[in-house]
Amino acid sequence: MLTISVLASGRGSNFQSIIDAVKNGRLQATISLLITDNPDAFAIQRAHDGGIEHLVMQPKIFRSRDEYYQAVANELHRRGTDLVVLAGFMRIIGKPLVEAFPNKIMNIHPALLPAFPGLHGQKQALDYGVKISGCTVHFVDEGMDTGPIIIQAAVPVRDEDSEETLSNRILQFEHKIYPEAIRLFSEGRLEVVGRRVRVKGSPPDDRGLTSPSLG
């Protein structure tokens, strides 16, 4: 069975969607650990409620960024982690962690990458005037939202949308596609070839794009 560890900095709503997917049997996995850099993160309460171990690891107590990420990698290895899941972890992942888990770290971003990476992807989309936004699950490399794309969900932008309303609609799809990406990984169906992620066993019209169905 797949062993997952989660890194989060804030409320952890995607963390909760993964907890729920495990509980309802949609995802055959065990969540072994939450690591947070924020002692006030609500994700800690979610871990407590789910009976999941958590650690607060703040970079400021380490001598360097590399030392911090090596310590994080060591804790993940101790729990037998197969997949590292970023659920609102507000830091760029350092080289020691990326090298310790090559193509085994996932992130979700509230935009259709490579458009609008970094913070406030929803606001960037509105400011640019796009008609379609969405969210992306991708593998993590050392860049900012630059790793190979696994699944994307498209969400239309409405004329009356604010950053809050668009964010809330996108979030509904985040909660759907993140557990799905993890499920595909757990089944050994994701193959990284260069910058492309192939979903083995999927028909040609179902290779990682989810269309909106929530209105």
**Is the pLDDT confidence value at 211 over 80?**
no
Least confident of 55-69, 159-173, 197-211: 197-211
| Domain end (from 101, 136, 162) | 101
Q: Report helix, strand or coil for 196.
A: strand
What is the predicted pLDDT for the residue at 215?
Answer: 35
The predicted structure's pLDDT at residue 214: 38
Range of the domain at 75: 1-101
70 and 6 in a single domain? The answer is: yes
Report CA-CA distances (Å) from 55 to 8, 39, 66, 137. Answer: 11, 9, 18, 25
Judge whether 98 and 164 are in contact, CB under 8 Å.
Answer: no
Average pLDDT over residues 111-137: 95
Looking at the structure, do residues 49 and 66 belong to the same domain, yes or no?
yes
> Residue 84 belongs to what H/E stretch?
strand 83-86
Same domain, 93 and 142: no
State the DSSP H helix or E strand holding residue 150, giving kind and residue range, or none if neither: strand 149-156
Least trusted range by pLDDT, from 4-8, 161-165, 203-207:
203-207
Q: Do 127 and 208 fall within a single domain?
A: yes
User: Within this chain, do residues 62 and 119 fall inside the same structural domain, yes or no?
Assistant: no
**Average of pLDDT values for 40-48?**
97
Q: pLDDT class for 212, splitting at 50, 70, 90?
A: very low
Q: What pLDDT digit, counting tens, does each position of 132-153 carry? A: 999 999 999 988 999 999 999 9
- Please give the distance of CA 112 from its chain centroid, rounded to a whole number: 14
Element (H, E) at 78: helix 65-78
Sign of CA dihedral 181, 186, 190, 192: positive
Structure tokens at 138: 């991708």
Query: Which residues lie below 8 Å from residue 130, measured CB to CB, with a gap of 6+?
Result: 115, 157
- Would you state the structure tokens that stand for residue 177, as one six-digit string? 């596609």
Can 120 be counted among the known catalytic residues? no
| pLDDT, tens digit, 9 for 90 and up, residues 55-107 | 999 999 999 999 999 999 999 999 999 999 999 999 999 999 999 999 999 99
Last residue of a domain, one of 101, 120, 146: 101
- Quick one: 114 and 90 in the same domain? no
Nearest Cα neighbor of 155 from 207, 110, 206 is 110
Other beta carbons within 10 angstroms of residue 96's beta carbon come to 17
Residue that is last in its domain, among 67, 101, 135:
101
Structural domains of the chain, count: 2
Question: The domain spanning residue 176 has which CATH number?
Answer: 3.40.50.170
Say what the pTM is: 0.91
Of the listed 54, 109, 120, 175, which one is catalytic? Answer: 109
Which pLDDT does position 213 carry in this prediction?
43
Q: Are 140 and 105 in contact (CB under 8 A)?
A: yes
pLDDT > 70 fraction of the chain, expressed in percent and rounded: 94
